[in-house]
Amino acid sequence: MTTTVITATTQSVRDSLVVARRNLIRMSRIPEMVIFGLIQPIMFVVLFSYVFGGAIPVPGQSSGDPVTYRSFLMAGIFAQTVTFATAGAGAGIADDMHKGLIDRFRSLPMARGAVLTGRTLADLVQTALTLVVLAIVAVIVGWRIHNGVFKALAAFGLLLLLGYAFSWIGALIGLSVRTPEAATSGGLIWLFPLTFVSNAFVPSSSMPSFLRHIADWNPFSATVQAGRQLFGNPRGLVSDAWPMQHPVAASLLWSVLIIVVFRTLAVRKYRSAAA
């Protein structure tokens, strides 16, 4: 029994890596996919830093100081970047479904969940590349880390884990719609309120009471706050909500929970679609 489980797990891992490699090769042959994925977050950094930087105060810091706001902002931009990749993941899976790729994989002796796992792993690699470029741009506009390299790497690890978790939501959306265009729209509709009703761009203390509670318990906010804590950036006024008091633990718990729930749903959806 144990040998069977180990063999099945090994095959699933191997098949997932093969599918991930296939998607990475495809990305390398279509460089505009990567380039366009970099342009949007860079635009957000520049626009928010120089257009809103001097107008949005960070509680507890120098009022209207653009450098302080840029330091406060960057964890939010990083988190927004990894979560917005969800729409692309959903569109890619919907495109594979539309082209009949699922039917081709069905004829192969491979683990059913490997198709989705490989796709999400490839998207994770692309997201990591985007974060590297974005961090370089952030340093250029004045962002700095203050708690050492290891804590900064831990912050980027939490950001990538959140992006990977959200890619499973994108996978489920991609499997649930008929066209890539619908997957892109469906992947963005819920992301905008999730990212803006959070502490990413403004402190949650500035929001009305009912929105503040939503923002404080938002999994996106937990990762943003964890990033600020680990980077040593301004955090604004920290609320009494548990996720804001323990953002690193909250970020890990939210991401793992999202992966467990949505991977299960996505794989089940994939199997029913391929049945």
> What pLDDT does residue 268 have?
87
Domain-embedded: residue 52? yes
Domain-embedded: residue 4? no
> What pLDDT does residue 270 have?
82
Label residue 66 by pLDDT band (50, 70, 90).
low
Domain-embedded: residue 12? no
Give ∠ CA 93-97-99 in degrees, rounded to 5.
115
Higher per-residue pLDDT: 40 or 252 = 252
Over range 22-35, report the average pLDDT.
76
What burial class does residue 263 get, using C-beta atoms within 10 Å of its C-beta: 0-12 exposed, 13-18 middle, 19+ buried? buried
> What pLDDT does residue 225 have?
94
Q: Give the Cα separation of 171 and 131 in Å (integer).
A: 21
Cβ 225 vs Cβ 247: under 8 Å: yes
Label residue 72 by pLDDT band (50, 70, 90).
confident
Give residue 141's domain range.
21-274
pLDDT in tens, 143-194: 889 998 999 999 999 999 999 999 999 888 888 887 877 887 777 888 888 9
Poorest-pLDDT segment among 3-7, 34-38, 83-87, 151-155: 3-7
Higher per-residue pLDDT: 183 or 275 = 183
Domain-embedded: residue 75? yes
Domain count, the chain: 1
What average pLDDT is seen over the chain? 83
Poorest-pLDDT segment among 30-44, 64-78, 154-168: 30-44
Residue 68 to residues 7, 44, 56, 203: CA-CA distances in angstroms?
A: 53, 17, 10, 13
Domain-embedded: residue 9? no
> What pLDDT does residue 7 have?
64
Label residue 85 by pLDDT band (50, 70, 90).
confident
Domain-embedded: residue 13? no
Over range 128-157, report the average pLDDT.
90
Domain-embedded: residue 14? no
Domain-embedded: residue 231? yes
pLDDT in tens, 231-261: 998 877 778 899 999 999 999 999 999 999 9
> What pLDDT does residue 234 have?
80
Give ∠ CA 196-126-15 in degrees, rounded to 5.
120
pLDDT at residue 107 greater than cutoff 90:
no
Q: What percent of the chain has pLDDT over 70?
A: 88
Label residue 269 by pLDDT band (50, 70, 90).
confident
